Every structure is written in C-alpha cells, then in structure tokens.
C-alpha cells in the first residue's frame, strides 16, 4: 500500500518487495517487445521463460551486427560493431562507485582518441542503441556550458541486452548474485528510464574523486541524483556535492523503499520509480 501523510510519502514493505521483484525480472528481459512477449508466454515456468528470453536477445544482437553494414553508410560497420560491443565491456569494469567516463584507447585497433571514434559513437547514439551521459566539471545551469565533447559515459539502450552481451547467467541477474559491482546495471537502468521519460540529454558531474551519476533540472532547479544498486547507500560524493553547492533538492535512488519527507533536501526513491522524479 502507498502511505501518504502531509509530511511523508512511503511504500509498505509488501508493495516494495513486489515491485522490486518486477524490477529484477526487467533486469533480465529488458524492454524489447519480442523478448517480453516470449517471456510472458512462458512465465508459468520462470526459469524456462528467462532462458527463452535470453535466446531471443542473442538473435536480436546478431541481427543488429548484421544490419550495421546495411545502414551505416560511409561509417565503417566493423568500427560500429567494435564500439557497440565495447560499451557493455567497459561498463562491467566499473568495480565500485559510479561508472567512469568512456575510454577510447583499445576499442578499435590503432585508434586512440575521440576524433577517431566519434563517427561510430555518433552513429550508434543517433540510432538509439547507446545512451550518452555528458560529464560536467561544474554543476551550474546551463549544464552544456561546462561539458567537453570528449568527456562522457556510454550506456546500452536496453538493460536486458546488457546482461546478454556480457553473458551474465539469467538466474544470477534475477537473484542479483553476480558479484558486488552491480552499480553499472542500476546506472544503466536509470539512464534508460530518464531517456524514456522524455529527457533528450543526460548529464553527470565529476570533480576530483567525487562523482554524481546524474544531474537533472527539475522545475528550474538543479538536482543531483545519486544511484545505488542496493540498500547500503552511503554516498560520500553526494555529501561532497551538497557541501560545495548547497542544492535546494537532492535525490538518492536505491533498493530502499520510497521515502519522501516534506521540507527535507534529500529525498529517497526506489530504483523502480526512477522515471517519476
């Protein structure tokens, strides 16, 4: 049950656990229509349904790779494949904390900088297959003024395909038991949700060792958004940001239930409500 008073909005634990289970299913399936229809058809046997969904995902990825050569025009299709396949690999190397900026070296042989990878990256972004989050050096509106073209994070457009491309077993994704570095999965999901809610551009913030996963302009106010995959939500970077900028509002997204308290700067949202900020 959704619980509301004049000062606090919360979810009951029963509702939270139900919605959290749905999110874990979504982490496996993602949102591709054919994948979802396959999963729902066989859902009476969840283990079989998840594996059948994974089989469809594999075919979709193979289809994308085949289609790159047909639709990429002057951009080298092999370079597009290399960048597309490298995005999940780089995400999975983020062992703790926030996802780091995208690294160009080693993605395509003998190509080391942004200028050499810009074509494939732009092509994949325009095709909607990757999501770009620009990294701001200063948290101030307009955010675009404090970004560099060669500093950004890249995410996959579908979290279900992310697990498939990394060959993570579906049962481990569902049980959230694929090691401690699950933060990149949660961050990819939130990037998807923000994009699906209508944001055309995504931003983050970094300064020194402090990083905030997302910056949002909500009701003309700049809001830092910290993302955590679990219930352990200590956020050193968010504390540093709040000390430096004294924001009117800040948001922490995690595995904890909804907890919005009127008058408090910091509000807590569960991951499955990321699109509702």
pLDDT in tens, 120-171: 999 999 999 999 999 999 999 999 999 999 999 999 999 999 999 999 999 9
Does residue 69 have a pLDDT over 70?
Answer: yes
- Cα 223 versus chain centre, distance: 17
Helix segments in the chain, DSSP class H: 13-29, 33-41, 46-71, 77-92, 114-126, 159-165, 170-175, 183-196, 236-245
Q: What is the pLDDT of residue 97?
A: 66
Q: What is the pLDDT of residue 179?
A: 65
**Band of pLDDT at residue 118, cut at 50, 70 and 90:** very high
Q: Between helices 46-71 and 13-29, what is the axis angle to 10°?
A: 50
Mean pLDDT of 214-226: 94
Does residue 21 have a pLDDT over 70?
Answer: yes
pLDDT in tens, 161-191: 999 999 999 999 998 876 655 889 999 999 9
**Percent of the chain at pLDDT above 70?**
94
Does residue 10 have a pLDDT over 80?
Answer: no
CA distance 274 to 132: 18
Strand, coil or helix: 198: coil
CA distance 216 to 226: 11
**Band of pLDDT at residue 111, cut at 50, 70 and 90:** confident
Among 29-33, 134-138, 262-266, name the one with the lowest average pLDDT: 262-266
Contact criterion met (CB below 8 Å) for 29 and 39: yes
């Amino acid at each position: 049950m959704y619980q509301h008073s004049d000062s606090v909005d919360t979810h009951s634990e029963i509702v939270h656990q139900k919605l959290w289970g749905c999110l874990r299913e979504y982490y496996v399936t993602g949102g591709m229509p054919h994948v979802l229809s396959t999963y729902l058809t066989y859902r009476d046997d969840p283990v079989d349904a998840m594996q059948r969904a994974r089989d469809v995902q594999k075919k979709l990825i193979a289809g994308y790779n085949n289609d790159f050569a047909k639709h990429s025009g002057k951009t080298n299709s092999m370079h597009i494949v290399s960048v597309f396949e490298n995005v999940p690999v780089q995400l999975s190397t983020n062992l703790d904390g926030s996802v780091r900026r995208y690294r160009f070296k080693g993605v395509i042989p003998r190509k080391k900088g942004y200028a050499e990878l810009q074509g494939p990256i732009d092509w994949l972004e325009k095709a909607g297959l990757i999501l770009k989050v620009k990294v701001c050096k200063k948290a101030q509106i307009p955010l675009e003024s404090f970004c560099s073209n060669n500093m950004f994070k890249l995410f996959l457009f579908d979290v279900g395909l992310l697990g498939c491309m990394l060959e993570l077993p579906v049962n481990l994704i569902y049980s959230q038991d694929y090691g401690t570095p699950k933060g990149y999965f949660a961050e990819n999901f939130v990037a998807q949700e923000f994009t699906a809610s209508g944001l055309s551009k995504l931003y983050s913030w970094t300064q020194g060792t402090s990083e905030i996963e997302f910056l949002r302009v909500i009701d003309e106010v700049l809001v830092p958004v910290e993302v955590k995959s679990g219930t352990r939500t200590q956020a050193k970077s968010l504390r540093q940001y709040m000390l430096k900028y004294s924001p009117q509002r800040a948001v922490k997204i995690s595995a904890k239930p909804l907890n919005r308290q009127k008058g408090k700067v910091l509000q807590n949202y569960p991951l499955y409500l990321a699109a509702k900020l």
